[in-house]
Copies of this chain bind each other. A is one copy, B any other.
Amino acid sequence: MPDSLINHIKRFIEINEEQEKILLSFVEYKKINKKTFLLKEGQVCENNYFILKGCLRLFLNLDSGYEHILQFAIENWWITDFLSMQNGTPSKFNIQAIENSEIIFLNKNIKNELFERIPKLESYFRIILEKAYSAAIMRIHFQLDYSGEERFMHFNRLFPDFVQRVPQYMLASYLGFTPEFLSKVRGKKH
């Protein structure tokens, strides 16, 4: 079942069967239900999560009572709060399953042991972080330079099936506008 993690890693680096076994012996596999929290505001984030199946979100609670989604993660994505994990400080964020999901847990301490056993894995994580970082920069670019309607259109073109998969109010939250506004935008293109 965690084959897809191995496959994902093999897209970026080469590892042998021996190493695959070590890797799999270091991580945990869990099924979780929709709405399960993997991290709650105030806790210290101890794990990296890899999504085998399902969908998670990272969000924060606003004073207003609303919440704002900063990241989604679907199949073959990692999700975590690096800030809390690095510094060992309480997280401002929540990580929660949007669907019933199957997740690989990689504990932060275990991760360091793993790097000693399989140094190449550093390379894998470096590469996907470079990608995640570029994606974040592009997202800032869109946030700054495009209107709400343009952001939605663009997102819809890039991830048409994902748009179907999550409630509209979560999409609106992620894209940085209100659910009402999204509803109006969708209504327009008759």
Contacts from A to B (Cβ < 8 Å)? 60, 62, 68, 70-71, 81-83, 86, 115, 119, 122-123, 125-127, 129-134, 136-141, 143-145, 176
Q: Smallest CB-CB separation from A136: which chain B residue? A: B136
The smallest C-beta distance from A36 to any residue of chain B, in angstroms, reads 22
**The one of B83, B122, B127, B137 that contacts A70, using a Cβ cutoff of 8 Å:** B137
Q: Smallest CB-CB separation from A62: which chain B residue? A: B145
Contact A133 B68 (CB under 8 A): no
- Known contacts A86-B134, A119-B119; is A140 also within 8 Å of B141 by CB? no
The smallest C-beta distance from A152 to any residue of chain B, in angstroms, reads 15
Kindly name the residue among A62, A131, A137, A143 whose own CB sees the greatest number of chain B CB atoms within 10 A.
A137
Contacts of A83 in B (CB 8 A): 134, 137-138
The smallest C-beta distance from A56 to any residue of chain B, in angstroms, reads 15
Give 21 CB contacts A-B under 8 Å. A60-B145, A68-B144, A70-B140, A70-B141, A81-B134, A82-B137, A83-B134, A83-B137, A83-B138, A86-B127, A122-B122, A122-B123, A126-B129, A129-B129, A133-B133, A133-B136, A136-B136, A136-B140, A143-B143, A143-B144, A144-B176
Contacts of A139 in B (CB 8 A): 140
Q: Smallest CB-CB separation from A66: which chain B residue? A: B145
Contact A82 B140 (CB under 8 A): no
Given A70-B141, A129-B133, 9 extra CB contacts under 8 A: A68-B141, A68-B145, A82-B133, A83-B137, A122-B122, A126-B126, A129-B130, A136-B136, A144-B176
The smallest C-beta distance from A4 to any residue of chain B, in angstroms, reads 22
- Known contacts A122-B119, A130-B82; is A140 also within 8 Å of B140 by CB? yes
Contact A134 B68 (CB under 8 A): no
